[in-house]
């Protein structure tokens, strides 16, 4: 075994002596602090390294995020569009993927820095680490600014091009008013069921919704079944076929027909169906529309619900709708002590408001509004005495010995709040869908009727708390002029009894606030 003489230890007798290792201490070339010369690089201490070395030098400090304003999705290069809310984990991951040079350092922490919503800027605070010399790891924090740029995604671009849809849902209701569609519109807006639509178009007796894929239309049909009693039919149309590969292209259409019964409608059930529903009186009042038609007997407070399959096996039409309501004045009312939920049964003597000062004719009726009405109040109801209804079910009730004696003279529906101001300045508002009216532009007379129906719908929202819970109401930030404010102050006493919406129930309209700030 050979050994190099230069590497061999020096021996004196039987004692071997190893060479002593010494640590050289030098001074920092910047501040003069003593440092270990064997480990220090560039003759700098740790504090001077932090001041002079920038480990984030290769990381991009500014970037651009592309956002589609129609569907509110973000572009993930090269061609993917993802959904992510502001300050979410998904958006933070997208921001980090957009940075160049981030693979050269180690990311320790990343978080959002608050910015103004209208600034179109997103700030991210990054904390990174990197080794700058042997045994020295440097950590540094800095901010990155992202500029939000608008860019339309391919799906939204198709919505502005004709004949690109692959599936459509035709929603129809065979009635002469738009009350159900106004209610359905608010449900769609609250749950965002219209976000995947390419186009929304007005049609006769309804609305058409167009989608780019069949599964999106099926999802919308499932939503309709969860909020309205509907009957759905499906059909398909062959567009093209490749004879070599046998690939076929179809357009799918779903027809959803809504039950033609609305809230506050007077209904005459078929006698056979009334007996199947707990032997309830066939002359009922519709108090709510949900997944079923919810009916109530205002004389006994007995309730029942008719599901969509049961209705379409034996369909019936409303005897009278809200447009035929008549104003009555309560002359006297007594409570019977019977109650069910929010209703209290009472016996009332009423007179038609148009008969006051003309004759002294009064009518006796039992009503579910015993807790709301007082002598002198006004109520809206249906006049049955002296009214001819072209309805087979009502004729069968009149001809029946069992039910003809229980037909009331008047059916009260709801309390009437006189509004002396035609256009009340509300502190809340409802959003509307952007619909393509096409060739169905309403005439001036039709537009006045539509505005009146919408005003009646807003009044129902004010008066019915249960109806408001299913909608999204927003704060109305539009300030009134001094003249309107003075008129409102003089008229507040006149409309004092009119129900108002509490500010706690309202949501902030961020879109409107952003436009005002901009």
Share of the chain above pLDDT 70, in %: 83
pLDDT value of position 440 = 59
Which segment of 90-99, 237-246, 259-268, 504-513 scores lowest on mean pLDDT?
A: 504-513
Q: Confirm if 397 and 271 have CB atoms less than 8 A apart.
A: yes
Q: What is the three-class DSSP state of 205?
A: coil
Q: Confirm if 487 and 207 have CB atoms less than 8 A apart.
A: no
Residues 518, 67: Cα–Cα separation, whole Å: 18
The predicted-structure confidence for 139-196, as pLDDT tens digits, reads as follows 888 899 999 999 988 877 776 766 678 899 999 998 888 888 899 999 999 999 988 8
Rounded-to-10 torsion of CA 31, 34, 39, 40: 10
User: In degrees, to the nearest 5, what angle opens at C-alpha 293 toward C-alphas 287 and 298?
Assistant: 35
Please check the confidence at residue 382 and state whether its pLDDT lies above 70: yes
Please check the confidence at residue 16 and state whether its pLDDT lies above 60: no
pLDDT value of position 405 = 84
Residue 289 CA, chain-centre distance (Å), reads 19
Q: Confirm if 99 and 77 have CB atoms less than 8 A apart.
A: no
pLDDT value of position 21 = 46
N residues, the chain: 518
pLDDT value of position 46 = 67
Please check the confidence at residue 36 and state whether its pLDDT lies above 90: no
Strand segments, DSSP code E, in 151-276 are: 167-172, 197-203, 206-211, 230-241, 248-258, 266-268
Strand segments, DSSP code E, in 1-104 are: 10-12, 15-17, 25-27, 34-36, 62-68, 73-76, 80-83
- Segment 361-367 long-range contacts (CB within 8 Å, at least 24 positions apart): 362/331, 363/328, 363/409, 363/410, 364/409, 365/408, 365/409, 365/410, 365/411, 365/412, 366/298, 366/299, 366/336, 366/408, 367/298, 367/333, 367/412
Q: Where are the alpha helices (DSSP H) in 79-118?
A: 89-97
pLDDT value of position 444 = 67
The predicted-structure confidence for 423-449, as pLDDT tens digits, reads as follows 567 788 888 888 877 665 666 667 788
Residues 91, 340: Cα–Cα separation, whole Å: 50
Assign 478 a pLDDT band (cuts: 50, 70, 90): low
The predicted-structure confidence for 289-330, as pLDDT tens digits, reads as follows 989 999 999 999 999 999 999 999 989 889 998 889 999 999
Q: Confirm if 420 and 464 have CB atoms less than 8 A apart.
A: no
pLDDT higher at 6 or 352:
352
Assign 226 a pLDDT band (cuts: 50, 70, 90): very high
Share of the chain above pLDDT 90, in %: 34
The predicted-structure confidence for 84-120, as pLDDT tens digits, reads as follows 988 899 999 998 888 888 888 888 889 999 988 788 8
Of all residues in the chain, what percent are helix, strand and coil, respectively (each to 5)?
Answer: 25, 35, 40
Neighbours of 126 (CB within 10 A): 22
Which segment of 56-60, 66-70, 280-284, 458-462 scores lowest on mean pLDDT?
A: 56-60
Q: Residue for token digits 């039910």?
A: 403
Residues 220, 75: Cα–Cα separation, whole Å: 25
Mean pLDDT, rounded, of the chain: 82
pLDDT value of position 508 = 78
pLDDT value of position 169 = 95
Please check the confidence at residue 247 and state whether its pLDDT lies above 90: no
Which segment of 15-24, 49-58, 228-237, 384-393 scores lowest on mean pLDDT?
A: 15-24
Please check the confidence at residue 468 and state whether its pLDDT lies above 90: no
Model confidence, pTM: 0.67
Q: What is the three-class DSSP state of 439?
A: coil
Q: What is the three-class DSSP state of 16?
A: strand
Q: In 3D, which of 100, 90, 28 has the Cα closest to residue 63?
A: 100
């Amino acid at each position: 075994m050979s050994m190099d003489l230069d590497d061999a230890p020096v021996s004196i007798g039987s004692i071997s002596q190893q060479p002593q290792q010494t640590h050289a201490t030098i001074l920092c070339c910047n501040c003069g602090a003593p440092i270990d010369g064997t480990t220090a690089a560039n003759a700098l201490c740790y504090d001077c390294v932090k001041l002079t070395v920038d480990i984030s030098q290769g990381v991009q400090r500014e970037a651009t995020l592309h956002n589609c304003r129609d569907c509110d999705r973000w572009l993930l290069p090269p061609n993917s569009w993802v959904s992510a809310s502001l300050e979410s984990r998904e958006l933070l991951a997208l921001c980090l993927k957009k940075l160049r040079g981030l693979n050269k350092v180690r990311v320790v922490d990343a978080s959002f820095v608050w910015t103004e919503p209208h600034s179109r800027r997103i700030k991210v605070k990054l904390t990174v680490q990197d080794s700058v010399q042997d045994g020295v790891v440097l950590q540094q924090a800095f901010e990155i600014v992202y500029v939000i740029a608008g860019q339309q995604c391919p799906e939204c671009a198709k919505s502005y091009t004709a004949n690109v849809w692959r599936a459509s849902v035709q929603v129809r209701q065979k009635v002469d008013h738009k009350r159900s569609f106004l209610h359905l519109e608010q449900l769609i807006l609250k749950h965002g069921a219209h976000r995947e639509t390419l186009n929304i178009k007005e049609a006769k007796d309804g609305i058409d919704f167009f989608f780019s894929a069949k599964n999106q239309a099926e999802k919308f049909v499932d939503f309709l079944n969860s909020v309205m009693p509907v009957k759905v039919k499906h059909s398909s149309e062959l567009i093209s076929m490749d004879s070599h590969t046998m690939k076929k292209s179809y357009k799918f259409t779903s027809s959803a027909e809504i039950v033609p019964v609305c809230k506050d409608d007077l209904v005459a059930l078929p006698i056979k169906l009334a007996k199947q529903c707990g032997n309830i009186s066939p002359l009922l009042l519709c108090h709510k529309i949900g997944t079923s038609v919810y009916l109530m007997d205002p004389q006994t407070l007995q309730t029942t619900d008719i599901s969509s399959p049961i209705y379409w096996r034996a369909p019936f039409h409303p005897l009278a709708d809200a447009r035929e309501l008549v104003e009555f004045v309560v002359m006297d009312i007594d409570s019977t002590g019977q109650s069910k939920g929010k209703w209290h049964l009472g016996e009332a003597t009423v007179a038609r408001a148009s008969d006051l000062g003309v004759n002294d004719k009064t009518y006796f009726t039992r009503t579910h509004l015993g807790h709301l009405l007082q002598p002198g109040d006004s109520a809206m109801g249906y006049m049955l005495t002296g009214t001819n209804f072209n309805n087979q079910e009502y004729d069968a009730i009149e001809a029946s010995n069992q039910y003809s004696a229980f037909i009331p003279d008047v059916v009260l529906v709801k309390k009437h709040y006189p509004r002396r101001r035609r256009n009340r300045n509300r502190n809340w508002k409802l959003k509307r869908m952007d619909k393509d009216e096409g060739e169905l532009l309403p005439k001036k007379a039709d537009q006045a009727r539509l505005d009146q129906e919408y005003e009646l719908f807003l009044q129902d929202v004010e008066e019915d708390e249960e109806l408001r819970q299913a909608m999204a109401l927003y704060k109305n930030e539009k300030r009134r002029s001094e003249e309107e404010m003075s008129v409102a102050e003089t008229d507040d006493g006149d409309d004092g009894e009119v129900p108002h919406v509490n500010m706690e129930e309202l949501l902030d309209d961020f879109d409107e606030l952003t436009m005002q700030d901009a």
